[in-house]
Amino acid sequence: MVGITLAEAKEELAKEGLRVGNISREQDEDKIPDTVLKQSIEPGTVLRKPLPIDLTLSFIDITDLRNRPEEPVN
């Protein structure tokens, strides 16, 4: 799942009869937001029963500049 979007991961997991478990987020400005960075079970692991797969997704921190005084640009 690493490297694909959350929507794509949900589709891929559903094809295998699996589902997304817990979602956490980690800042990574080099990735598109909601890209899978990590998964709880290693790729290729054989599961005896379907388990939810926990995912870590990328996000970009955007500072809220509303209501802040404007600063002159030099």
Total count of domains within the chain:
1
Answer yes or no: is 66 within a domain: no
* SS3 category, 45: coil
- Global pTM exceeds 0.85: no
More confident residue, 47 or 20: 20
Share of the chain above pLDDT 90, in %: 62
- Rounded to the nearest integer, the mean pLDDT of the chain is 90
Parent domain of 33: 1-41
Over residues 23-57, the pLDDT tens digits come to 999 999 899 999 999 999 988 888 888 889 999 99
With a cut of 80, say whether residue 64 has pLDDT above it.
Answer: no
Evaluate whether residue 37 is within a structural domain: yes
